Chain A
């Protein structure tokens, strides 16, 4: 049995299940039920950290989420976890933990040298120095490497996470006495209840005070009974190891459940999530989150071996660990007495120094009976010791004001616990805008029990400032009666025996910083925030320098910024600031409480949204055909589209060259299924189209298609596509692949908000249709083999017509439209036949060497024709006129279509705006970089005027030369297809340091008269 273990029958460790583990490479043993902290303390392990700024020795201070010092790295490699609080790490067989501070070693920390100069490193000292711009990066490098606790893993996380959503009528946060009672009340009333507790077992403080009596039973028996009844209720769900870390609008609580971390890696269930995020919507939230004891602030109060009094009690009663044999306790209130008694009974010699000169006689009697040496009216001037506390120098305190009244004895001790009172855990209460109130009687910021009842938020027990067990239970009973009444239920707790053996408490002394008879800053450093090395003197300095808002004080000193979120330090900090400012604590107020109550992994937040399931990938019905033919894919929005189809040994360039020529000379085939498709029906579709498109739709006859430009109200092109007239009141619109969803919402918004009178119904049918575009001079021959019921002859089936018929035995809509300038047929078919039609066309086209092609070849073909791609050749700042597409705008339409009015604005109406043109390089082999900037001189001096940029650039196999599209200021008037002129027509395309001379030409490079698509 390790040196500091004692025999506590009611302790929660299982001495029949010893566990071995290592810390910093050294072997240790503990028991099931231990935390890493309790197991280390059981071995008398004191110092396990060095402080952030001064490298001072630090040890365990708390017993839970409030722990500021004992940040450890658990496990190694891909499973490593940085910055766990040793007080929250459940011990398991073979656990390996490491310190996260102290370099080169814990015993000799480089930073501790700096510690000797701490007076020269007050809060904010770095703002005042390191001002040399040349040297600062080096200083910063040193600062960065001195900072930080644990190390992030460097391998991908092998474990997984997910989310679960719940609705509850009553959510109880905290499974201590108050939470248990609250859950019981709601559970007995038949409501759907969820009870959360962050620890491995229910009980909260009762686990640390097993000897208290409730309703004639010991606390541990009472706990067993209540927990047992709760478990028996089918309408109550109990979740342990589940920490509610945030409360959001409308009572949405986020909680993280630990599913695996308490098990040895070897025993973790494969496929089981590591952690789970629960999103809980609750009609009523009952916060039973308890309170955290705050330490008193005195000289050298950060020595290893100095803990909160409650932590020492917890280690004794819950973990059977005597932190020390000679324990000195310093308190300002009654709460430390029970622990003092228990310690004394466990065989420790206990001195209890109470800052009050008048004690609670009942407690004093009990303490003395237990053998505690009680001293009234004393404080600690400073603690002594190096790497562990060895004793403390007491001072007699003035009974009225916080000042030294006389000297006191030096007390030897190997453990020191202090209690400055309790701070309610009000974090969740404040996350969504709640404000805690300072209670001068309880000396705490408390959450109002029913102040937010309208919002469905209730607070019970210590969180509401009811610190004694008796008061806690009674207040919970009463608050739950109200909460249940609000749900139309009545409480069954009236008869419940809640009598405890607790004596009435008397007021605590209002003391935070224990005086040492010296001016602040002259005595030994008295720490407020351990993790950030914020001393009382730093707060005084901040105020002296006019950082007077509590937020300024926090930010200037880093008070409460640590991974403990100031659970121990904030209230002391606020109080000391108030003293320094000569204000009351409510005047000073609190900083804002922000989630997370305790840290939560990114993995938990992301849940299953990682790796392959980060976001869905969309594939067309032809996907399998594409994969089989070796396609390379390009992500386009949510879709993966074939990019090109390389044959063995081909690179992108070679494949695209082949694919382009096939489409121009023979026949190619492209999967166009990803284009957005919206089925629009109703008597007023034509009028609707007239309003949402720039061009006119009144005349479009059934069986015909038309290309349209969609603008925003600012007059800029946002989408384009071909729309077909099915019947007079039925149209099929296509949109860009990336724009489909956006356009659908856009159209619905206009219809519903501005023109509800129009008889129009829209349905997204993007996924209902599969589309194969058969492209090239031989496309008609291919289609003819599969389609007998459509007259494909040029006279009967003209360009921009569409026909209904049967292709490869399947009903189809065939569109004679072309994004390549070639004769082309787009075969649209029920998506479930997509694969069938693709393979049928490939087979029929075999004799013509039909060639599948992807987006890259599509781009080349359309660029050769000067067809734009919205989002590539446009960027939200291009009007139809800028694109030289006046033909797609009907200014004569009676209704002022969306965007029309904006054309008339002075800037939009300018004739010298950036306009779409073609560019040709002198050297036909040079393919300009897309994104190259257009300049008028190759004599580069920055900044210099830029006149546009290259939007699309390719090598055209058809022309055997490079071509480019660009937007160029006043481009249309610069166009000259007659060789490079002098003056402003001499332009250069500049990219990555190279300028290439270009001439501005028509964007239509191939078949300018458009003969080919009409054959």
Chain B
């Protein structure tokens, strides 16, 4: 029976068997021929109560929570390419909540709590690996900032510790804590509950979860225009025809400005290349996540054994999912600064994503001046870790037409009132 047939046979209903050791066993005996589609691919209906633009992790999570928490049923997620094909598929899979400002910290912590229950909630192992995250400090000012952030985290109920260089060395034996290093490691902040997750699985798990609630997931469906009359959203023109919609949530990450333009809105967003690369698969050598802003590099080792390494942002605007090689070269140098022995390890594959950056390095989860049109974007480099929390509060914002307490501060208004939530702050160095 073909996949489409399967979809047609049981439209809008549960399409998947429960995932368990038992079903694996049963299916194994039947040559794994009885597995149902993980999610149902749908054709667009004439109209929906809610249309989510963008089937990345955030968009699918939004649909999932709209259905699960707010009882919405008539939902579509439309995607110009394949689901989970944007930044969801291109990030370095780090999950943490140790942010400085209350607004960010509480939002990311909300997300981390959802992460912790996500595998069970979705009945899909998203392979959350709480192996801890170290944010290294390389100067006295770094250490002041770390102290400030860790104290704020603790008072916000977030697990975080300040470690000195000796303790960092004890926990990461291979790291170079020599005081003669160009940027010697003076210490680090450490969040034990932070870690990594399997990025693709998050998109697939939410797609499957949303599908169970009858959400229409429509791939290869590109938005070409927005139907706005009387200051209200009525629907969308797409490459697969017109789709009427009561409420539209745009979760298009790097392409948010493109969709916003269709609504005649300008966003405080610039889309930049963000590159990453992985090494060849190695025997376990690093069992945590290490991040360093001073030398611009961060890395972890995947379950498959690859060192997963994130680079800095390319400064120019781009939608090409390509960056410049000197950025990768610099990142490799940074990794060798931290782990000199890795200079003989080989890069296997590099790639780029499109990050939607805002002036204060914080997201926009907001209503717009157009009734029924909502935006969730501007996540910059922080999007993946926020996936469940972002979808959760955005679903609330769309369902109730008012922000969830956790995303009230992330409205577009802040760029007019001046109430920015400046996560990168000024350049740390002065005097």
> Is the beta-carbon distance between A877 and B420 smaller than 8 angstroms?
yes
* Minimum Cβ distance to chain A for residue B318 (Å): 10
- Given A152-B344, A519-B31, are A128 and B19 also a contact pair (CB < 8 Å)? yes
| B127 partner residues in chain A, CB cutoff 8 A | 126-127, 136, 140
* Minimum Cβ distance to chain A for residue B1 (Å): 9
> Is the beta-carbon distance between B418 and A902 smaller than 8 angstroms?
yes
> Is the beta-carbon distance between B182 and A612 smaller than 8 angstroms?
yes
Interface residue from A137, A602, A610 paired with B345 (Cβ < 8 Å): A602
**CB-based nearest B residue for A675:** B431
Q: Which residues of chain A from 963 to 998 have any CB-CB distance to chain B below 8 Å in the complex?
A: 990-993
> Is the beta-carbon distance between B144 and A931 smaller than 8 angstroms?
yes
A933 to B23 CA separation, bound complex (whole angstroms): 52
A120 to B340 CA separation, bound complex (whole angstroms): 41
A601 interfacial by beta-carbon distance below 8 Å: yes
> Is the beta-carbon distance between A83 and B33 smaller than 8 angstroms?
no
| A386 partner residues in chain B, CB cutoff 8 A | none
- Given A149-B305, A877-B425, are A871 and B155 also a contact pair (CB < 8 Å)? no
Interface residue from B24, B285, B330, B337 paired with A120 (Cβ < 8 Å): B24
A780 interfacial by beta-carbon distance below 8 Å: no
A595 interfacial by beta-carbon distance below 8 Å: yes
- Given A552-B82, A946-B155, A991-B151, are A152 and B285 also a contact pair (CB < 8 Å)? yes
A634 interfacial by beta-carbon distance below 8 Å: yes
B28 interfacial by beta-carbon distance below 8 Å: yes
A555 interfacial by beta-carbon distance below 8 Å: yes
A127 to B128 CA separation, bound complex (whole angstroms): 11
* Minimum Cβ distance to chain B for residue A301 (Å): 19
Q: Can you list, as one digit per residue, whether each of B136-169 has a CB less than 8 Å from chain A (1) or not (0)?
A: 0011110011111111101111000010000000
> Is the beta-carbon distance between B219 and A544 smaller than 8 angstroms?
no
* Minimum Cβ distance to chain B for residue A114 (Å): 13
| B219 partner residues in chain A, CB cutoff 8 A | 549
Among the stretches B58-66, B118-126, B362-370, the one at the interface with A is B118-126
> Is the beta-carbon distance between A563 and B348 smaller than 8 angstroms?
yes
A736 to B147 CA separation, bound complex (whole angstroms): 23
> Is the beta-carbon distance between A714 and B418 smaller than 8 angstroms?
yes
> Is the beta-carbon distance between B182 and A617 smaller than 8 angstroms?
yes
* Minimum Cβ distance to chain A for residue B334 (Å): 8
A136 to B204 CA separation, bound complex (whole angstroms): 19
Interface size on A, residues (CB 8 A): 134
Between A83, A522, A592, the greatest number of chain B beta carbons within 10 A of the residue's beta carbon is seen for A83
A859 to B347 CA separation, bound complex (whole angstroms): 44
Among the stretches A227-235, A354-362, A753-761, A936-944, the one at the interface with B is A936-944
> Is the beta-carbon distance between B426 and A606 smaller than 8 angstroms?
no
Number of A-B contacts (CB under 8 A): 374
| B149 partner residues in chain A, CB cutoff 8 A | 931
| A137 partner residues in chain B, CB cutoff 8 A | 129-130
A420 interfacial by beta-carbon distance below 8 Å: no
- Given A148-B284, A546-B37, are A876 and B422 also a contact pair (CB < 8 Å)? yes
Q: Can you list, as one digit per residue, whether each of A624-652 has a CB less than 8 Å from chain B (1) or not (0)?
A: 00000000001111000000000000000
- Given A150-B282, A153-B344, A563-B280, are A131 and B123 also a contact pair (CB < 8 Å)? yes
Q: Which residues of chain B from 38 to 92 have any CB-CB distance to chain A below 8 Å in the complex?
A: 38-41, 81-85, 89
Interface residue from B148, B305, B324, B332 paired with A248 (Cβ < 8 Å): B324
| B145 partner residues in chain A, CB cutoff 8 A | 931
Interface residue from B23, B182, B324, B350 paired with A614 (Cβ < 8 Å): B182
| A144 partner residues in chain B, CB cutoff 8 A | 284, 303, 305
| B81 partner residues in chain A, CB cutoff 8 A | 549
> Is the beta-carbon distance between A152 and B147 smaller than 8 angstroms?
no
Interface residue from B144, B340, B427 paired with A739 (Cβ < 8 Å): B427
| B305 partner residues in chain A, CB cutoff 8 A | 144, 147-149
| A147 partner residues in chain B, CB cutoff 8 A | 281, 284, 303-305
> Is the beta-carbon distance between A129 and B147 smaller than 8 angstroms?
no
| B151 partner residues in chain A, CB cutoff 8 A | 929, 931-933, 949, 990-992
> Is the beta-carbon distance between A155 and B426 smaller than 8 angstroms?
no
A582 to B4 CA separation, bound complex (whole angstroms): 12
B400 interfacial by beta-carbon distance below 8 Å: no
> Is the beta-carbon distance between B21 and A129 smaller than 8 angstroms?
yes
Among the stretches A26-34, A685-693, A903-911, the one at the interface with B is A903-911
Q: Which residues of chain B from 319 to 366 have any CB-CB distance to chain A below 8 Å in the complex?
A: 320, 322, 324-325, 328-330, 332-333, 335-337, 340-351, 359
- Given A605-B329, A908-B418, are A81 and B344 also a contact pair (CB < 8 Å)? yes
> Is the beta-carbon distance between B336 and A603 smaller than 8 angstroms?
yes
* Minimum Cβ distance to chain B for residue A539 (Å): 12
A454 to B349 CA separation, bound complex (whole angstroms): 28
Interface residue from B82, B124, B414, B431 paired with A551 (Cβ < 8 Å): B82
A750 interfacial by beta-carbon distance below 8 Å: no
> Is the beta-carbon distance between A605 and B41 smaller than 8 angstroms?
no
> Is the beta-carbon distance between B106 and A131 smaller than 8 angstroms?
no
| A719 partner residues in chain B, CB cutoff 8 A | 430
* Minimum Cβ distance to chain A for residue B100 (Å): 9
A606 to B338 CA separation, bound complex (whole angstroms): 13
A614 to B340 CA separation, bound complex (whole angstroms): 12
> Is the beta-carbon distance between A131 and B125 smaller than 8 angstroms?
yes
**CB-based nearest B residue for A531:** B281
* Minimum Cβ distance to chain A for residue B305 (Å): 3
> Is the beta-carbon distance between A594 and B430 smaller than 8 angstroms?
no
A205 interfacial by beta-carbon distance below 8 Å: no
Interface residue from B119, B333, B335 paired with A133 (Cβ < 8 Å): B119
A252 to B182 CA separation, bound complex (whole angstroms): 30
* Minimum Cβ distance to chain A for residue B171 (Å): 16
B174 interfacial by beta-carbon distance below 8 Å: yes
> Is the beta-carbon distance between A990 and B155 smaller than 8 angstroms?
yes
| A125 partner residues in chain B, CB cutoff 8 A | 24
> Is the beta-carbon distance between A149 and B120 smaller than 8 angstroms?
no
**CB-based nearest A residue for B31:** A521
Q: Which residues of chain B from 105 to 136 have any CB-CB distance to chain A below 8 Å in the complex?
A: 106, 116-117, 119-120, 123-130
B10 interfacial by beta-carbon distance below 8 Å: no
B242 interfacial by beta-carbon distance below 8 Å: no
A161 to B329 CA separation, bound complex (whole angstroms): 12
> Is the beta-carbon distance between A537 and B32 smaller than 8 angstroms?
yes
Interface residue from A163, A603, A870 paired with B426 (Cβ < 8 Å): A870
| B266 partner residues in chain A, CB cutoff 8 A | none
Interface residue from B140, B152, B184, B335 paired with A602 (Cβ < 8 Å): B335
> Is the beta-carbon distance between B428 and A871 smaller than 8 angstroms?
yes
> Is the beta-carbon distance between A606 and B333 smaller than 8 angstroms?
yes
A907 to B415 CA separation, bound complex (whole angstroms): 10
> Is the beta-carbon distance between B20 and A596 smaller than 8 angstroms?
no
- Given A602-B342, A942-B154, A992-B151, are A738 and B337 also a contact pair (CB < 8 Å)? no
A798 interfacial by beta-carbon distance below 8 Å: no
B200 interfacial by beta-carbon distance below 8 Å: yes
Between B141, B205, B285, B343, the greatest number of chain A beta carbons within 10 A of the residue's beta carbon is seen for B343
| B343 partner residues in chain A, CB cutoff 8 A | 156-157, 161, 601-603, 606, 610
- Given A433-B320, A601-B345, are A714 and B426 also a contact pair (CB < 8 Å)? no
A9 interfacial by beta-carbon distance below 8 Å: no
* Minimum Cβ distance to chain B for residue A560 (Å): 10
A671 to B184 CA separation, bound complex (whole angstroms): 23
B429 interfacial by beta-carbon distance below 8 Å: yes
> Is the beta-carbon distance between A600 and B346 smaller than 8 angstroms?
yes
| B304 partner residues in chain A, CB cutoff 8 A | 147-148, 558, 561
**CB-based nearest B residue for A609:** B333
> Is the beta-carbon distance between A432 and B282 smaller than 8 angstroms?
no
* Minimum Cβ distance to chain A for residue B162 (Å): 7
Can you spell out 26 A-B residue pairs with CB atoms less than 8 angstroms apart? A82-B282, A127-B124, A127-B205, A133-B116, A152-B342, A157-B341, A159-B344, A246-B350, A521-B33, A537-B31, A545-B36, A547-B204, A549-B81, A556-B204, A603-B343, A607-B329, A611-B182, A611-B340, A614-B182, A635-B183, A636-B139, A872-B431, A905-B417, A942-B156, A990-B151, A992-B162
Contacts A605-B332, A940-B155 aside, 5 further interface pairs with beta carbons under 8 A come to A136-B119, A140-B127, A152-B285, A152-B341, A876-B426
A-B pairs, top 7 by smallest CB distance, nearest first, are A931-B147, A738-B429, A148-B305, A871-B430, A603-B343, A546-B37, A931-B148
